[in-house]
Amino acid sequence: MRDKLFIDGTWLAPAKGGSFEVINPATEEVIHHAPAGTQEDIALAVAAARRAFDTGPWPKMSGKERAAILRKISSLILERKEHLARLEVMDNGKPFPEAVWDMEDTAGCFNFYAGLAEEMDAHPEEPIALGDTRFSAKVVQEPIGVAGAIIPWNYPLLMASWKVAPALAAGCTMVLKPSELTPVTALELGAIVEEAGLPAGVLNIVTGLGAEAGKPLSEHPDIDKLAFTGSVPTGAKIMAAAARDIKNVSLELGGKSPFIVFADSDIEKAVEWIMFGIFWNQGQVCSATSRVLVEESLYPALINRLIEEAARIKIGDGLTEGTLLGPLVSKSQYDKVLAAIDRARTDGATVAGGGKRPAGFNTGYFLEPTIITDMAEDSFVWREEIFGPVVCVKSFETEKDAIRLANDSRFGLAAAVMSKDKARTERVARALRAGIVWINCSQPTFTEAPWGGYKQSGIGRELGRWGLQNYLETKQITAFEADEPWGWYLKT
């Protein structure tokens, strides 16, 4: 594991020499001391990114040239996917097969944006028809400049790729600040981009605490664009910092996503997709379908099957063969989730399944898959993001009722609906106020499609061609083509 920051193409010890502990959440052991970057290191990193943007080759290279390096990064990630996945498990806790899948998605993301970089060469400008034929106009898109990316811990390298890949494809330079809970693979990415031949200063990686490294990055005047994924309170701080210098900002924040299951659904399929929606990655997924709404007649049977199946999920260290549910990422996250379950009990809800440390696990931040029922519509557990393997299940009577309950949230990241009636799933999908709606499934995420939320779940979209737009400015170039004088002041 790497103990230096990656700044201007070199590996540097943090200016203040500090470090912070990296803990394996399955064993509670300290597995590494990561470099604690501070304001001084952020200043160096931003200066390097600024230089690389203003005077370096990267923004001026063709899309094809940038794509070649992005593809190299992609193939190096694939070559090392098992090693990277193992590091990710030790850092984050997730089951190894999930981490391998994440690494494949990460490589796929670099590859996808390589394709979009090439497409930019094919469409360098777009003519615009004007209402005045004396003028011609065209639109060109240019990299926005130096981007600052601040990311969370739930998909450490994958979340990095969602920002780094489109930013590099667009021709931007970047300073990346990973979460202090999972800094390990981001530093590996430094070694990978170095090997892939990315010019110095184009990507700089500064690990450190939110207040010590994230805050100065968000406030740095030489940053043109801030891209953030994390919690709503931190997102609000990032936006406030961006407001001071009118920086472009995109935010991917939390969620409390509903999953509506109509009575004509196949119960086994419903149970499996509910489980995938809330237990995958220990429920630490911004789009986790944490509120399940089941049509009344199906509710009793579905709850029973869900409790039965959830209790069979194999819990363990993510590196143990067969594990399907690992530990939560940290002690503080664990305590937060347990406190939310306790609060649900105090507020009168029923913990119908799980809800405690599994038997035989005395160390590690392990929690049984938890199913909560009978909660009030205004209760904390129903309304707030828990970010753990905790699902709230409620029944509904009518479609109208289901849509009202689903939309009654300050979040609007994702939603899901299940029914055999296609007209109904289409109607409900349109009525749901969320940036992502899944029909007859929950969670599958594709690099090609836009990702982001309505309401307090964020601003802007990542992934797909929308992700590239995050890192591009749009310029109109308008020419006066006529020979005649303009004739406003100088009358002839």
What is the closest distance, in whole angstroms, from the C-beta atom of residue 384 to ligand NAD in the complex? 10
- Taking the least distance from each CB to ligand NAD, the nearer of 59 and 216 is 216
Token pair of 386, please?
A: 């828990």
Residues 6 or more apart whose CB falls under 8 angstroms from that of 104 comprise 78, 81
- Taking the least distance from each CB to ligand NAD, the nearer of 105 and 180 is 180
- Taking the least distance from each CB to ligand NAD, the nearer of 179 and 265 is 179
Residue 94: its H or E element: none
Contact 58, 112 (CB under 8 A): no
What is the closest distance, in whole angstroms, from the C-beta atom of residue 69 to ligand NAD in the complex? 26
Give Dmax over CA atoms of the chain in angstroms.
94
What is the closest distance, in whole angstroms, from the C-beta atom of residue 225 to ligand NAD in the complex? 15
What is the closest distance, in whole angstroms, from the C-beta atom of residue 234 to ligand NAD in the complex? 3
If DSSP codes are grouped into helix, strand and coil, which group holds residue 62? coil
- Taking the least distance from each CB to ligand NAD, the nearer of 384 and 426 is 384
* E strand intervals along 253-342: 258-261, 291-295
- Taking the least distance from each CB to ligand NAD, the nearer of 154 and 370 is 154
Integer CA distances (angstroms), 102 to 88, 155, 186, 350, 399, in order: 9, 7, 13, 34, 35
Residues 6 or more apart whose CB falls under 8 angstroms from that of 428 comprise 260, 399, 402, 403, 417, 419
Residue with tokens 């407001």: 243
- Taking the least distance from each CB to ligand NAD, the nearer of 162 and 262 is 162
How many CB atoms lie under 10 A from the CB of residue 324? 17
- Taking the least distance from each CB to ligand NAD, the nearer of 179 and 289 is 179
Residues 6 or more apart whose CB falls under 8 angstroms from that of 346 comprise none
Amino acid identity of residue 345, one-letter, is: R
Contact 53, 172 (CB under 8 A): yes
What is the closest distance, in whole angstroms, from the C-beta atom of residue 447 to ligand NAD in the complex? 14
What is the closest distance, in whole angstroms, from the C-beta atom of residue 256 to ligand NAD in the complex? 9
If DSSP codes are grouped into helix, strand and coil, which group holds residue 1? coil
Q: Under the rule (CB under 6 A), what is the footprint of ligand NAD? A: 150-154, 177, 179-180, 210-211, 214-215, 218, 229-231, 234, 237-238, 252-255, 286, 385, 387, 413, 458
Query: What percent of the residues of the chain are helix, what percent strand, and what percent coil, each to the nearest 5?
Result: 40, 20, 40
Residue 406: its H or E element: helix 399-407
- Taking the least distance from each CB to ligand NAD, the nearer of 218 and 379 is 218
What is the closest distance, in whole angstroms, from the C-beta atom of residue 253 to ligand NAD in the complex? 5
- What's the half-sphere exposure (Cβ side, CA atoms, 13 Å) at 366? 22
Residue with tokens 């806790």: 93
User: Which residue intervals of 211-260 are DSSP H helices?
Assistant: 215-219, 232-245
Q: Which of 234, 287, 217, 241 is nearest to 442 (CA)?
A: 287
Q: Which of 40, 48, 37, 32 is nearest to 14 (CA)?
A: 37
β-pairing verdict for 19-24 and 29-35: antiparallel
Token pair of 470, please?
A: 């995050």
Residue with tokens 């034929």: 133
What is the closest distance, in whole angstroms, from the C-beta atom of residue 480 to ligand NAD in the complex? 45
What is the closest distance, in whole angstroms, from the C-beta atom of residue 22 to ligand NAD in the complex? 14
- Taking the least distance from each CB to ligand NAD, the nearer of 211 and 449 is 211
Contact 257, 455 (CB under 8 A): no
Write out the catalytic residue numbers.
252
Length of the chain: 492
